[in-house]
Amino acid sequence: MKKAPPPRKQLVAPKKATAAVKAAPAETVVEPAGDESRTALVRRARRINRELAEVYPYAHPELDFENPFQLVIATVLSAQTTDLRVNQTTPALFAKYPTPEDLAAANPEEVEEILRPTGFFRAKTKSVIGLSKALTEDFGGEVPGRLEDLVKLPGVGRKTAFVVLGNAFGRPGITVDTHFQRLVRRWRWTGETDPDKIEAAVGALFPKSDWTDLSHHVIWHGRRICHARKPACGACPIAALCPAYGEGETDPEKAEKLLKYEKGGLPGQRLNPPQAYLDAGGRPAPPLGAG
């Protein structure tokens, strides 16, 4: 007679909730998603988004901006740095160069000095001045509201274009940044690694009207709880739905110490966040050089 195979080890979600976020139900077994049907995947993905919408009802773009021009410039500057550092840097930039025409005619050395804190400031200076010249010469000084036009601008790819379309023009788009890529693979929504393929695969799981808010929910969760190196699994509100539960710290008390920004009682990334964020207990970030 053949021996019966040993029982598969089960991962159990945390029993205790933290004060900062809603924890998974007690004794909930987190099963792998390898044999998941397409229908089950869609249901689980949409449930994760609904749960995150409850955790982050105030989710918003974490770049300070007052118009489409400021948003596209800030998004280009956010490459290889934090939104916080961009937000601390752009007030001086926009005070001196409030329009595309102003920035297009700027002295590169003066722009470089302003952008120095964001890193890669020479390349970023070239991009934002080139972008401003293109806006001035090709679009009458206005940021276009079409994907095919936005991606023609220097330094603007699909990710930046969807940030602008979704948050400045109200047109749905999925923002596939590093957080989004990491989390959707952890959740086994897709195994793709190419951003365009990730965008297509995840977009197919949700109604188009959900895309922009979905991007905010996933990115916020990646920044606050589901970190790259040490995810706070024990403080995760969707642990019961996550096939990767257990990759990070599962002890609730230890996990709570890993939480960032408002979940950890710390300031956020925007100097001028929306009122809904402030009403939810979030605190604005300090300006450059403060503290």
**Catalytic residue numbers?**
159, 177
d(CA 247, CA 118): 31
Q: Which candidate, 63, 68, 120, 112, places its Cα nearest to that of 91?
A: 63
Cα–Cα distances (Å) from 168 to 30, 61, 164, in that order, read 38, 10, 5
d(CA 217, CA 206): 13
Q: What are phi and psi of 11, to 5 degrees?
A: -100, 130
Contact, 273 vs 60, CB < 8 A? yes
Q: In this structure, how many other beta carbons lie within 10 angstroms of the beta carbon of residue 136? A: 18
d(CA 273, CA 200): 30
Enumerate residues 6+ apart whose C-beta is below 8 A from 11.
29, 30, 245, 246
Helix (H) or strand (E) holding 163: helix 158-168
DSSP for 177-190, please give it: -HHHHHHHHHTTS-
